[in-house]
A and B are shown apart, each in its own frame.
Chain A
Amino acid sequence: NAGVTQTPKFRVLKTGQSMTLLCAQDMNHEYMYWYRQDPGMGLRLIHYSVGEGTTAKGEVPDGYNVSRLKKQNFLLGLESAAPSQTSVYFCASSYGGYNSPLHFGNGTRLTVT
């Protein structure tokens, strides 16, 4: 049972390049989330999804797009990377009830030069 898997683990982009981060979960969770974590800022929600085919904006959505075409996958896209998007990105999932905790992937370390 893999839980939540993120790919890639590391990536270096040049300003203006695009990329997609993939998150896959095998726990049949309804809710999936993308967070970014920066020093001194804590975890901040970028986008989330409450089910297949649905997405919604979080706290810091600008510069990112997401898609949830299949229940088990949640994709995060950067169309035109900027140095301000240098961060560690975490995907998480939960079954969605009030007391349901989040299960996190291992993270993707992205550097934009």
Chain B
Amino acid sequence: RKEVEQDPGPFNVPEGATVAFNCTYSNSASQSFFWYRQDCRKEPKLLMSVYSSGNEDGRFTAQLNRASQYISLLIRDSKLSDSATYLCVVRANQAGTALIFGKGTTLSVSS
């Protein structure tokens, strides 16, 4: 099993749709989790951290399921500007070597 796995997509959805991505991780000792957004040919940018109790930021909701070792990202009311690649990031400890990036899930929102 790969350390961090994501469905590469692409997910093609119309504006206004709700879309969800999952990310599974293999290291049960993982301590912190993030979702990053990466636009084509640009640097990854932090979308949101993922907390144990789940957290929401506007149209975005992140959930963590430690028992099943996955995190999820839900996007409501999709906008054209949400089109990007979403990277799941998992950190097992403070050291940099334990910060693992998924390969990303591509989202395309169309009008």
Given contacts A48-B97, A57-B97, A106-B43, 14 further A-B contacts (CB under 8 A): A40-B103, A42-B87, A42-B101, A45-B99, A50-B95, A56-B96, A56-B97, A90-B43, A97-B94, A99-B32, A101-B34, A102-B46, A104-B44, A107-B43
| Chain B 69-80 interface mask (CB, 8 Å, partner A; 1/0) | 000000000000
A51 to chain B: closest CB distance in Å?
A: 12
B36 to chain A: closest CB distance in Å?
A: 8
**Would you list which residues of chain B between 56 and 79 have a CB under 8 Å from chain A?**
none
Indicate if A2 sits at the interface (CB-CB under 8 A).
Answer: no
Q: List 6 A-B contacts (CB under 8 A).
A: A42-B101, A42-B102, A98-B91, A98-B93, A104-B43, A106-B43
Instruction: Verify A50–B96 contact, CB threshold 8 A.
Output: yes
Size range of the interface on A?
20 to 34
Partner of A98, one of B31, B42, B45, B102: B31
Given contacts A43-B87, A99-B32, A104-B44, contact A58 B102 (CB under 8 A): no
Query: Which residue on chain A has the smallest CB distance to residue B98?
Result: A45
Closest A-B pairs by Cβ, 4 of them:
A48-B96, A42-B103, A104-B43, A43-B101
Query: Which residue on chain A has the smallest CB distance to residue B92?
Result: A98
Given contacts A40-B103, A98-B32, contact A106 B97 (CB under 8 A): no
B26 to chain A: closest CB distance in Å?
A: 15
Indicate if A62 sits at the interface (CB-CB under 8 A).
Answer: no
Instruction: Verify B94–A98 contact, CB threshold 8 A.
Output: yes
Instruction: Verify B49–A99 contact, CB threshold 8 A.
Output: yes
Instruction: Verify B42–A107 contact, CB threshold 8 A.
Output: yes
Chain B residues with CB under 8 A of A97: 94
Given contacts A40-B103, A101-B34, A104-B43, contact A59 B94 (CB under 8 A): no
Docked complex Cα distance between A88 and B41 (Å): 9
- Which of B34, B46, B99, B104 has the most C-beta atoms of chain A within 10 angstroms of its own C-beta? B99
Query: Which residue on chain A has the smallest CB distance to residue B8?
Result: A40
Instruction: Verify A105–B96 contact, CB threshold 8 A.
Output: no
Instruction: Verify A90–B95 contact, CB threshold 8 A.
Output: no
Docked complex Cα distance between A111 and B58 (Å): 40
